[in-house]
Structures are given as structure tokens and as C-alpha cells.
A and B are shown apart, each in its own frame.
Chain A
Amino acid sequence: MKKVKRVFSILTATALVATLAACGGTSDKDSGAASGGDGGDKLKKITLFQSKVEITEPLEALVKTYKEETGNEVEVWGAAGDAYSQQLVAKLSSNQGPTIFSVAPGPESEKLKSYFSDLSGEEYVKNIAPDMELKVDDKTVGVPYGVEGFGLVYNKDLVDPANMKDLDSFTKTLEQLKADGKNGLSLSQEAYFLIGHIINTPFALQSDPLAFIDQLNKGEVKMADTKEFQEWAKFMDVIKANTKNPLEVKYDSQMGDFATEKTAMVHQGNWSYSMLADFGDFGSKVGMMPFPLAGNDKIAVGVASYWVVNNQADAEEVKAANAFLNWLFTSDSGKKAIVDDFKFIPALTNIEAGDLDPLSQAVHEATTKGETITWALNYFPSGIITNDLAPATQEYFMNPGMTGEQFLQKLDEVWAKASK
């Protein structure tokens, strides 16, 4: 018995030493191998922080698959909607930044550009569809999540797009729906769903939206003096007069009422289908049409976010991050997850659009036909939607006496303050 014990302890010790030696060996080999990544080498654990609540669960599942297939670990940090960029900046400036994070184009990526690694040399970026990458000084630094689009999501049983071509028919449709006891069109209280997306249309219809935003920032033009905005204000008046107060509606209840046919239309994007799917199969019932402002017949399509790699992370982590992104965009499991689980409309040429849901299908078709208007809202001054435009809109919906015209003046006022 004693002997057995001794043998056992010797064995354990040997095993320990062997493991230690093996560890040393691996690290030696790691530093030796120049462009490693192939073979079974374990890469450093990395962290990923992203803004899309909708894909949190499938992303965590995907990370598990990644670990099973390659043995490497990725930790996903959660964030909730509007607060994402604040949390990101706080994490980055305290040097606890994630290895991979997502940024929105426009002022946000401009502000954070000193954190972006140059991805130009990586394999997967070669597949990004033309003009869809995030660039800083001619270097590719960000990979698009996918394209997204928004417009009026409608229930085909309740609304006919043919009756929604201009202000007159829009008004008639909403009034008719109200008379039928339905909520015609629903916005919801979250800043982007309340004002950010719907105000994009008059901006996008300008001949040069970016130049217009620039002029607005400098105070050279006013929304109240611009034709498209004046008409937009009339649309808002119609919405205010005929639908439920959006301040009492949350994204959840907005989609819930839409799914249960209490609401005929919602101003939403293709991402909202994931919530509709929870209520059953709506495939044949829903569609997306353009917001019919000034004869607009196009859906707003753009890239909401890019993946970027934090260049403050150490070289090992950057390498691991690139390996993960490469796996995500080139391996079968990764590509499948992007289209099937995240339900993204791919912006990479090597990924075939999967079985798209009806809303994404509408966006995809508009994109391939080129019938889209831009996401001008990406180029608004940083934070203006949540901090300035949303409170002004709350005031408009709260105060029954406030007209669309006064609303526009109020928007001009807060814009001037925010862009100062």
C-alpha cells in the first residue's frame, strides 16, 4: 500500500513537471512561429463588446461553437441600447477596453479612431462589399455588421401601400384606421424609434444630406425653412392627431401591439422581425414600405455598426481578435450564424444572403436594385438624438397645443445649441 502511494506521488510530480515543461515549450513555439494561428495553438482570450441587444444570445452561442471548433475563448460583454457608447468610452479611457467592439459610423467612429487597428492586411476584409468598409486614412479599420433598413413596417391585411403615396392618402389611411378602432401608426418612446429614424427621411431627401447637416451645424439653414421638413411636420401632426401617444409605448409593446393587430403600422427596421417572430409566423402578412414624405419611394438603408479591433490591446490579443473575425466571416459556422442566427443582411461578398425574413428581404431587394436613401442620421452631431432631439419630441407629443411648425422651430433651436 505504501509503495502504491509513493508511486502515485512520483507519478503526480512527474506529470506536474511535464505539464510545466509543456507550457514552456508551447510559449517558446508561439514566439517562434511568425504567422501562427494554424494548428492547435491556443490563442489568448479576448473580449467583445457590442451594441446590438438583438444578437446577444446567438452571439454567445456562436462563441461557444468557436470554442468547440478552435479551442479559443471569446468573452461577450453585454450592453443595453442607448448607453452603449457611454459605457464604451468609459471602458476605453480606463484602459479596460474590450478587444473587439462595435462603433457606429459618423461622429462616434471619428471620435474613437485613435483606437482602431489597421485591418487592411487581413484576409476577411477582402470580401467586404464595395464602399461598405469603415476607413480611416485609406486603411480599412472596420467590418460592417451587415446592412439594415427601416421604413414603415405594415400589416398587409390592414394597410394597402397603394393608399400611402402622399400626405393626403397617408392622412386618409390613418383617419380611417382610427375610425376602425386601430392604432394607425406607432412610434415608441426610445430616442431612435421616437425621432431619430423618422427624421432621417427629410434629411436623406436633400440633394446632399451631408452638406445640409454641415450647413445646419453652422446655422446657415433652418429646418423650418426647408420644404421637406415643412411637409414632414405635417406628417407628424397627422401622426399626433390620429395615433396613440408614442411616449406611452415601449419598443416591446409597440411590436406586441403590431403583432396582435392592434396597430396597423410601425416605423421600424428589419431588426424588429426577430421580435415579431416570437409571436408566430408573420411571413405573409408584413411588409416594409417607404415613408411617403415628398413622394419618397425608397427605404433607408445603411450600416449601423462596424466591428473594430482595439489597438490598445496587446499584440497577442489583436492576433486572437483577427483570428476570431476571420473565423466569423470565412468559416461555415460563422457565416451561417451571421445570416441564420443574427439575421443580418450580409455586407460581405463571400456570404450568401440566407433565408431572409420578409422585412430583410425588402431591404435586400431595395439594396440590390439601388433604390435606397442614406442614413443621414449617422452624421448628426454626436449624441444629439438622445440628448436634444428626443426631449424636444417628447415636448411635442406631450403638449396638445404644440403644432408641427412650432415643433420644427424647437428642433432648430435645440440643434443650434447642440452643434455649438
Chain B
Amino acid sequence: MSKSKDKAWFALFTVPLLFIFTTVVLIPFIIGIVYSFVNWDGIPANPKVFVGFDNYVQLFQDERFLSSAWHTVQFTLLALVCVNILGLAFALLVTTKLRSRNAARTMFFMPNLIGGLILGYIWQFIFTDAFSFLGEKTGFDSVFFNWLLHPQFALYAIVAVFTWQLAGYTMIIYIAGIQGIPDELMEAAKVDGANLWQRLKSIVFPLLMPSFTICLFLTLSGAFKIYDVNLSLTKGGPSNATEMFAMNIFNEIFAYGNYGLGQAKAIIFFLIVAGLTLTQVIITKRREVQM
């Protein structure tokens, strides 16, 4: 009796989700794999020509795709470091006896509540107008110029906005992790005369490993898949210097109308993201210590 009741509850909560997952993720994904083997311009009335693995061969000769891959790798590495260092620093800061810690938490988390598109447009204004203005007024025009017009700095600009958006979110996860560390451990260490850095290195970081796993996974996959900030801040410009994976795929499919090639790129993209995040989770999981 209770078993069947359990099953009913289980079904009630999972079946709708499974249904949605199947219809909007699984089935389109499988259809997408099929499309990656055809040459098609996306208009239902126009012919689909089966071309085998041609699309996969072609995409490795597509310089623009390869350079977008390189931008994505650069961006992801930078974002990974910035978001997590800043998130962890925020978390350490707001778990001290700081008087304004609650206000600080709110402030740090706030940017996460704003959508990426809007953040991008706001920062576009800051980089374009405010930066040029500051540069003119203060004379520091080697730092304050329109970042979005410089190929390398435009990438840094996206990193900055992405960090601004995500650091508060990772902070929350790190706070939870820090609060899970027993006070006795820290006090014992203090009594034994361990300084702050020793306490961090030998107690806090090892015990924070589960939080690292989650945060690294979130930033890694989020940075790889970035599209909204990329679109609203730079549109991939100047001259494609900040075109990331997702944007390249979108352009291939919707701007050039190469559905087959674009799908092939998307499959490769999926494999890369899945591979990288899985590796990362396995590695960090292994380093988690049990108390």
C-alpha cells in the first residue's frame, strides 16, 4: 500500500517533468543530430540533401568557428578565475563579524537578479559613454577608453560583466559551504596558533570542496554557453573578435541559413561542454574530503 502510494507521489512529481524534458530537450536533440547530416537552408519547402559527415569535416575548416572557439576558451578561463575568486572573497567577507554584512550580501547578489540582456545594455553604456568621458576628464585614457572598440578589451569587458553578474550567486553557495564548517574546528586551530592563511588552506578550502564542485560547474558551463551578455554588449564585434561558440552557431543557422552545418557545430559544442564539465566534476569530487 505504502509502496504504491510512494510510486504515485513519485509519478506526480516526475512525469510532468519527464514529459517536458522529453519534448523540449530530448526529442529536439535527436532531431538535431539528424539535421547535422543534411544540407538544408531551414525553409521547410526547400530540399534537404543528405551529405553524411561533410558538415563535420567542413566545420573544422571554418576559421571563424575555430576563432570563436578560441575566444570562448579565453573567456571561460578568465571568467572561471574571476567569478570564483571574487565569489569566494565576497563569501569570506560577509561571514566575518562585519557589521554591514547583511547589506553587503544583498548588494553582491543583486546583479544576479537582472537579466543578462539588460546588464549588457547597461554596461554597453558604461563602456561606451562613461568610460570615454572619464578618460577625457581624468587623462587616464589608457584605461578609460571605449573598451568595446578594442578586440582584446571587448573580451575583457564581457568577462567583467559576466563576473559582475555571477559572483554574487557563487558567493551564496560558498557562504552555505563556509557555514557548514564546524566552529570547533576553527577554534581549535586558533588555539593551536594557526594564522588566517593556515586556517584557510588546511581547514576551509578542503572542507569547501563540495562548494567548489558546484561553483566551478556552474561557471564553466555558464561561461561556455554564454549568449545573452555577448549579444547585448558586443554583438560579437568589433569585427567578430568576441564572437563566442553559441553566437557563431546562431549566426550559422539563422543568418547564413546553414541548418545542417550549424547543427553539426551545435553537436560538437554539446560534446565539448559535456566532456569538460564531466571531467571537472569528477576531478573536484575526488578531492572532496569527508569530515
Given contacts A89-B254, A248-B149, is CB(A394)–CB(B239) below 8 Å?
yes
A189 to chain B, nearest CB (A): 8
Question: Is B255 located at the chain interface by the 8 A CB criterion?
Answer: yes
Question: Whole-angstrom distance between the alpha carbons of A395 and B236 in the complex?
Answer: 13
A371 to chain B, nearest CB (A): 35
The CA of A398 and the CA of B238, in the complex, are separated in Å by 8
Alpha-carbon separation in the docked complex, A112 to B236 (Å): 27
Q: Decide yes or no: A387 and B239 within 8 Å by CB, A89-B43, A111-B43, A248-B149 being known contacts.
A: no
Instruction: Convert A383-406 into 0s and 1s, putting 1 for each residue whose CB lies closer than 8 angstroms to a CB of B.
Output: 100110001111100100000000
CA distance A114 to B146 in the complex (A): 46
Contact A115 B239 (CB under 8 A): no
Q: Does A238 contact B (CB under 8 A)?
A: no
Q: Which residues of B contact A89 (CB under 8 A)?
A: 42-43, 254, 257
A115–B132 Cα distance when bound, in Å, is: 48
Interface code B240-262, partner A: CB below 8 Å = 1, 0 otherwise?
10000000000100111100000
A248 and B44 form a contact (CB under 8 A): no
A92 within 8 A of B: yes
A391-B237, A398-B238 known; A383 vs B257 contact (CB < 8 Å) = yes
A247 at the interface (CB under 8 A from B): yes
Contact of A112 among B43, B150, B237 (CB under 8 A): B43
- In the complex, the answer to whether A391 meets B239 with C-beta atoms within 8 Å is yes
How far is it, in angstroms, between the C-alpha of A382 and the C-alpha of B41 when the chains are bound?
Answer: 11
Given contacts A89-B257, A383-B256, A395-B239, contact A248 B46 (CB under 8 A): no
A114-B255 in contact given A248-B149, A394-B239 (Cβ < 8 Å): no
Residues of A within 8 Å of B239, CB to CB, are 391-395, 398
Give residues 116-132 of B contacting A (CB, 8 Å): 128, 132
Determine how close the nearest CB of chain B comes to the CB of A129; give it in whole angstroms: 30
Contact between A93 and B255 (Cβ–Cβ < 8 Å)? no
Q: Which of A89, A90, A114, A392 has the most CB of B within 10 A?
A: A89
Alpha-carbon distance A114/B240, docked complex (angstroms): 33
A209 to chain B, nearest CB (A): 23
B146 touches A248 (CB 8 A): yes
- List A contacts of B24 (CB < 8 A): none
Across the interface, do A115 and B45 meet the contact criterion of CB distance under 8 Å? yes
Q: Which residues in A have their C-beta under 8 angstroms from that of B45?
A: 114-115
* Interface membership of chain A positions 71-95, coded 1 if the CB is closer than 8 angstroms to chain B and 0 otherwise: 0000000000000001001101100
Q: Chain B nearest CB: distance from A237 CB in Å?
A: 18
Nearest chain A CB to B54's CB is how many angstroms away?
Answer: 14
Q: A247-B149, A395-B238, A398-B149 are in contact. Are A93 and B42 (CB under 8 A)?
A: yes
Q: With a CB–CB cut-off of 8 A, which chain A residues contact B151? A: 398
How many chain A residues sit at the interface, stated as a range, is: 20 to 34
* Measured CA separation A89–B149 after assembly (Å): 31
Q: Which of B159-200 contact A (CB under 8 A)?
A: none
B window 213-241: CB within 8 A of A: 236-240
Q: Which of B128, B150, B256 contacts A387 (CB 8 A)?
A: B256
Distance, CA A322 to CA B91, complexed state (A):
63
Which of B128, B236, B237, B251 has the largest count of A CB atoms less than 10 A from its CB?
A: B237
Main secondary structure of the interface of A (DSSP, over half): helix
**Is A117 located at the chain interface by the 8 A CB criterion?**
no
Say whether A326 faces chain B, with CB atoms less than 8 Å apart: no
Indicate whether A394 sits within 8 Å of B237 (C-beta atoms), given known contacts A89-B254, A383-B257.
yes
The reply to whether A387 and B251 contact each other, CB–CB distance below 8 Å, is yes
Q: Output the nearest chain A residue to B128 by Cβ-Cβ distance.
A: A248
Q: Which A residues are CB-close (under 8 A) to B132?
A: 248
Report the minimal beta-carbon distance from A408 to chain B, rounded to whole angstroms.
16
Which one of A90, A111, A247, A391 contacts B240 once the chains associate, using CB atoms below 8 Å?
A391
A residues 231-250 in Cβ contact with B at 8 Å: 245, 247-248
Given A247-B149, A247-B238, A392-B239, A93–B43 Cβ distance below 8 Å?
Answer: yes
A387 to B146, CA, bound (A): 23
- Cα distance A247–B132 when bound, in Å? 13
Pick the contact of B255 from A92, A111, A386, A394 — CB < 8 Å? A386
Q: What is the minimal beta-carbon distance from B27 to any residue of chain A, in angstroms?
A: 14
User: Once the chains bind, are A245 and B149 in contact (CB under 8 Å)?
Assistant: yes
Contact call A394/B41, Cβ cutoff below 8 A: no
A382 touches B240 (CB 8 A): no
Chain A residues, CB < 8 A from B251: 387
Least CB distance from B234 to A in Å reads 11
Q: Is the CB of A114 within 8 A of B43?
A: yes
Q: How far, in angstroms, from A395 to B238 measured CA to CA in the complex?
A: 7
**Cβ contact within 8 Å between A111 and B257:** yes
Q: Type the 1/0 row for A92-104, where 1 means its CB is closer than 8 Å to any CB of B.
A: 1100000000000
- Chain A nearest CB from B131 CB (Å) reads 11
Chain A residues with Cβ below 8 Å from B254 are 86, 89-90
A158 CB to closest chain B CB (Å) equals: 25
Q: Which of these, A93, A392, A394, A398, contacts B44 with CB under 8 Å?
A: A93
Q: Which of B41, B46, B240 has the most CB of A within 10 A?
A: B240
Chain B residue contacts of A115, Cβ below 8 A: 43, 45
CB neighbours of A387 from chain B (8 A): 251, 255-256
The digit string for B15-45, where 1 denotes a CB below 8 A from any CB of A, is 0000000000000000000000000011111
Give me the interface of A with B, judged by CB distance under 8 Å.
86, 89-90, 92-93, 111-112, 114-115, 245, 247-248, 382-383, 386-387, 391-395, 398
Q: Please, could you name 29 A-B residue pairs with CB atoms under 8 Å apart, sorted by A?
A: A86-B255, A92-B43, A92-B44, A93-B42, A111-B41, A111-B46, A111-B257, A114-B43, A114-B46, A115-B45, A245-B149, A247-B238, A248-B149, A383-B255, A383-B257, A386-B255, A387-B251, A391-B236, A391-B238, A391-B239, A391-B240, A392-B239, A394-B237, A395-B238, A398-B149, A398-B150, A398-B151, A398-B238, A398-B239
**Nearest 5 pairs of A and B residues by beta carbon:** A114-B45, A395-B239, A391-B239, A86-B254, A394-B239
Chain B residues close to A by CB (< 8 Å): 41-46, 128, 132, 146, 149-151, 236-240, 251, 254-257
Knowing that A112-B43, A245-B149, A382-B256 are A-B contacts, what are 20 other residue pairs whose CB atoms are under 8 Å apart, sorted by A's residue number? A86-B254, A89-B257, A90-B254, A92-B44, A93-B43, A111-B41, A114-B45, A248-B149, A382-B257, A383-B255, A383-B257, A391-B238, A391-B240, A392-B239, A394-B237, A394-B238, A394-B239, A395-B239, A398-B151, A398-B239
